[in-house]
Amino acid sequence: MMRAILWVKALFVAAALCLATPALAQSPQLALHDDGREFEFQWVEARFGDRIEPHAALIVPVRIEGAPKTLYMQFDLGAPSTVLLKAKLDSLTERLPDLAAGADGQVARFAFSMGGVRAEAATVRVIDGGVSEGVAWDDPARIDIIGTIGADLLRGRTLVIDYPRHRIFVGAAAPEGLAAADQMLPFVFTPRGVVLTGMVIDGEAKNIMLDTGSSAFALLTSQEDWLSKTDGGAGATSFPVSSWGRTLTAHVAPTRSVARVGDTAIPLGEVAYIEGVDAAQAEAMRASGMGGMTGNKLFVDRILILDAAHSAYAVVAPRP
């Protein structure tokens, strides 16, 4: 379930949709009880060729009533709604028969807890996800990722992702004093994720796709932009990545470029582009005004605030 490089899919699908699509108006599909609280998350590392990325994905420990161990779900705003993996669900239904998927590939009334926040979905889609192993009930230390918490967690609410503290707050509004109104910038909520507008990189305002489901790169952009930000690719490393059954090549190089969100400056550190992307897709990205994609890695020492009720976001320094 953890996507190594489904960045390519999300980036170019979003390019065709994002700025031409109005903000999503539907009510949250994920009902929350006891919100206005925070819950923890953990990092998962992954290997890309010879490269180890310690912040490859963000996962949330969850508890399901009747299940004898803590399970995990990936947090992915690029997923329109929460989903479950079929192989993991099959293991769950051995212990919890009421969770059995129906003929339409959905589970009705799926409930789980994230720390002190209780969540419930009227229906949850079940997918194969390329995962064949069930839950390791006899190994309490093994991390079993059973599915994805999607954008239905954010819809109509405020999320505060405190990356240094490994905490996510969800509620009607951000905790008082965390960010002033004049620090907030607009974002666009599309069917494929969140587009951050007004991020200034090297003096140029850009629209950047936010994908919390992938974290391998601080900025994934076009080859042309990559060359301009990396002194022609000096010091680059390359490694294979997988996208929808295809093997592509990622090129990553150090950069002195800095992203600015309001008054907050964030050094990019590295910039990447993917070789092998279809030319028509790349043109769609350019035509849409998209300036690239970012994930969790850009914010690892910051706090990201996403206020979906007002379609506004901010990036602030951690509290002392």
Neighbours of 93 (CB within 10 A): 14
Q: Where are the alpha helices (DSSP H) in 230-308?
A: 279-288
H helix or E strand, kind and range, residue 15: helix 7-17
Rounded to two decimals, what is the model's pTM? 0.89
> How much is the pLDDT for 320?
72
3-state secondary structure of 118: strand
Q: Where are the alpha helices (DSSP H) in 49-148?
A: 86-95
Asked if pLDDT for residue 151 goes beyond 70, the answer is yes
Q: Give the residue-averaged pLDDT of 31-56.
A: 86
Segment 210-223, tens digit of pLDDT: 988 777 789 988 88
* Interatomic CA distance for residues 23 and 43, integer angstroms: 30
Asked if pLDDT for residue 24 goes beyond 60, the answer is no
Q: Name every residue whose Cβ is closer than 8 Å to that of residue 301 and which is 6 or more positions away in sequence.
A: 163, 164, 318
179's tokens: 């960010």
Residue with tokens 């969800």: 170
> How much is the pLDDT for 286?
62
Domain residue spans in the chain?
A: 25-158, 182-314
Higher pLDDT, 188 or 46: 188
Asked if pLDDT for residue 11 goes beyond 70, the answer is no
For domain 182-314, the CATH architecture is Beta Barrel (2.40)
Instruction: Among 202-216, 217-231, 279-293, name the most confident range.
Output: 217-231
Q: According to CATH, what is the number of the domain 25-158? A: 2.40.70
Topology match between the domains 25-158 and 182-314: yes
> How much is the pLDDT for 47?
78
Segment 85-129, tens digit of pLDDT: 999 999 999 989 888 776 678 888 899 999 999 999 988 989 887
Long-range contacts of 109-112 (CB under 8 A, 24+ apart): 110/82, 110/84, 111/64, 111/65, 112/62, 112/63, 112/64, 112/73
The string of DSSP letters for 217-243 reads -S-B--HHHHHHHTTTTTT-EEEEEEE
274: pLDDT confidence band, cut at 50, 70 and 90? confident
181: pLDDT confidence band, cut at 50, 70 and 90? confident
Higher pLDDT, 286 or 290: 290
> How much is the pLDDT for 212?
86
Cα dihedral sign, 280-236-304-123: positive
